[in-house]
Amino acid sequence: MAVELTGRNVAVTPAARSLAEKIVRRLERHLASAPDVRVVVWREKHLFFAEAIATHRRRRWTAQEGRDDLQAALACALEKIDGQARKDTERRRDGRHRGGQAKAAAGNGGEQAPRRRPRSSDARIVKSGRLPVKPMSIEEAALAMDDARREFLVFRDASSERVSVLYKRRDGDLGLIVPED
């Protein structure tokens, strides 16, 4: 446990140093090993300010607090760091062990929320406009999609006179929907 306590225009008392070490020991419980903590205290007019920066592995938490009393400012800043570290470790643990469904489970008392698919009666139909159906070959439709950067294109196949839909697939290829006879 490395606690670096620096005072700018303020004398750092042994009581303030022991308070900082006590709160940082509590912080160690959440992190499973000792963090590096730097605390800078200073005074501006009638307020004492404390700025705390804690690092542990690749994580970093910062907090700043201003109070009438040096020890109160120090305790509040370190309490903020403790809360940030606790929240961060809980988020990492829940995401790792529950498959990222911690938010859904939190509202149900720990149970996983079943995924609800919208029924056709629940779904809304939003009319977005009219599309012209132009006669063209499949190759021309593919070129038209690349030029316009569309997700889909409705066209009339010039060889069969059928309405077809050309769409972009998730893998980057193009899909073609042709109606049956």
Joined tokens for residue 143: 């070129």
- Whether pLDDT at 111 is above 50: yes
pLDDT of 109 > 70? The answer is no
Residue 132 predicted with pLDDT over 50: yes
pTM > 0.75: no
Q: Average of pLDDT values for 154-170?
A: 87
**Phi and psi at residue 163, to the nearest 5°:** -80, 130
Query: What's 11's DSSP letter?
Result: P
Domains delineated in the chain? 2-106 (3.30.160.100), 134-177 (3.30.505.50)
Q: Would you give the DSSP letter of residue 151?
A: S
For the stretch 32-71, pLDDT in tens is: 788 889 999 999 988 999 999 998 888 888 999 999 998 9
Residue 123 has pLDDT above 70, yes or no: yes
Strand order in the sheet with 59-67: 2-8, 36-44, 47-56, 59-67
